[in-house]
Amino acid sequence: MCTYSTEKIEVTRSSGKGPGPMVDAAGSVSTGWFPLRTATVYYDHPVHAPDEHTVNIDFLAPDRGPGARLAVELSLDTAKELIAALQATVERAAYH
Amino acid sequence: MAYDAVLAETVNIHGHGGDLIEAYTARPMAPGPRGGVIVIHHMPGYDRESKEVVRRFGVLGYNAICVNLYSREAPGAAPDDAAATARALGGVPDERFVGDARGAADWLRALPTSNGRVGTIGYCSGGRQAFLSSVEVDVQAAVDCYGAFVVGTPPEGFPLQVSPLTDRVPEVAAPVLGLFGNDDSYPSPAQVDELEKLLQENGKVYEFHRYDGAGHAFFSVDRPSYRPEAAKDGWGRVEAFFGEHL
């Protein structure tokens, strides 16, 4: 199954860390952190995880090129646990 | 001893709108003339295994080429990053794919070893594009490996730029070989049956093979979906089909 089914959200006031630190041609050192712009979420074939299908999330910053990407490929069980953890954390944030 | 050598390299070709786009090609070093094969990569992109398939067609005696359909969104990017970028942008528009495939066909026919005949083969999203090429591109054979949404409507709110090709079936102008896994959901066995019925009703030349115990992407040797028996039989069908038509 290649679902093609993709959810996409805008990401605001959020950052991610990719490969780094790196030194560019001008000699400046990047910490690897960059602002995130979009996230796509889809259930499809993974590139690396050892299942036929995984829940995949790509956090992207198109203004910084295709390489500015934080990618995860999660087993269905892990994705469910992550949803619960996010839900609990977001609810708890209301009391901070 | 037979001379057995293939030249494999990256080239730039003119695609849709005259854009210069990246492609990977493999050509036998022996004299021609011979047919050409356009390999259409799967949705995960112009990756190492797609290039391996191009080399295999070179070894089989064809001039083969695979266009990087994500050349514009993500030039020079790693294949998985390019695929992620293309997915976020809604995939490859049909019109642009057709322009790129016509560019690849022109490039193959301009080779001094060309016999003027060109076939397409595509996997996953490329399967649908291979089917589309049998309508829109001057090809003599098209192989659809488990392409979804040739028939069947994408779900509501679907962000990718694909629509069914049902109404284009009367325009199919090349023989079609279809290879499908019975455990696949996109396309489902019912959708494969529907497509076969449409081809039959329109008097098209086609050949479909369905494999039990195989789902989507059974040709993908580097993925858990690989099914050696289906893939081995499928390769045999492809070789016979191109052997007859190219």
- In this predicted model, what pLDDT tens digit does every residue of B94-125 receive, in sequence order? 999 999 999 999 999 999 999 999 999 999 99
- Candidates A4, A8, A74, A76; CA nearest to B44 is A4
Q: Which residues pair with A59 in a beta bridge?
A: A39, A70
Q: Mark yes or no for CB contact B84/A51 under 8 Å.
A: no
Stated pTM of the model: 0.91
Task: Give per-residue pLDDT as tens, A7-51.
Answer: 999 999 999 998 755 656 666 667 789 999 999 999 988 999 998
pLDDT of residue A1: 44
pLDDT of residue B2: 77
- The Cα of A64 is separated from the nearest Cα of chain B by a number of Å equal to 11
B185 touches chain A (CB under 8 A): yes
User: Residue B159 has what DSSP assignment?
Assistant: -
- Note down pLDDT in tens along chain B; length 246 residues: 778 899 999 999 999 999 999 999 999 999 989 999 999 999 888 999 999 999 999 999 999 999 999 999 999 899 999 999 999 988 899 999 999 999 999 999 999 999 999 999 999 999 999 999 999 999 999 999 999 888 887 766 666 677 889 999 999 999 999 999 999 988 999 999 999 999 999 999 999 999 999 999 999 998 889 999 999 999 999 999 999 999
B126 in Cβ contact with B70 (< 8 Å)? no
pLDDT of residue A21: 55
Residues A62, A11, A50, A45: is their CA dihedral positive or negative?
A: negative
Q: Mark yes or no for CB contact A66/B125 under 8 Å.
A: no
- The Cα of B17 is separated from the nearest Cα of chain A by a number of Å equal to 23
- Candidates B215, B82, B98, B6; CA nearest to A3 is B215
Strand order of the sheet with strand A69-74?
A6-10, A38-44, A54-60, A69-74
pLDDT of residue A45: 87
pLDDT of residue A31: 79
B94 in Cβ contact with B56 (< 8 Å)? no
Instruction: Mutate one of B22, B73, B85 to test the A interface: name it (highest A CB count within 10 A).
Output: B85
Coil, strand or helix at B223 = coil
A residues 6..65 contacting B (CB < 8 A) = 6-8, 38, 40, 42, 44-45, 47, 50-52, 58, 60, 62, 65
- Inter-chain CB pairs, A–B, below 8 Å: 81
| Domains annotated on chain B, with CATH | 6-245 (3.40.50.1820)
A65 in Cβ contact with A44 (< 8 Å)? no
- B106 burial type by CB count under 10 A (0-12 exposed, 13-18 middle, 19+ buried): middle
Chain A residues with CB-CB distance to B184 below 8 A: 1
- How many angstroms separate the Cα of A73 from the Cα of each of A62, B145, B178, B234? 20, 25, 30, 29
Chain B residues with CB-CB distance to A4 below 8 A: 43, 91, 125, 148-149, 154, 158, 160, 162, 186
- The Cα of B211 is separated from the nearest Cα of chain A by a number of Å equal to 14
A53 in Cβ contact with A1 (< 8 Å)? yes
A residues 64..83 contacting B (CB < 8 A) = 65-67, 69, 71
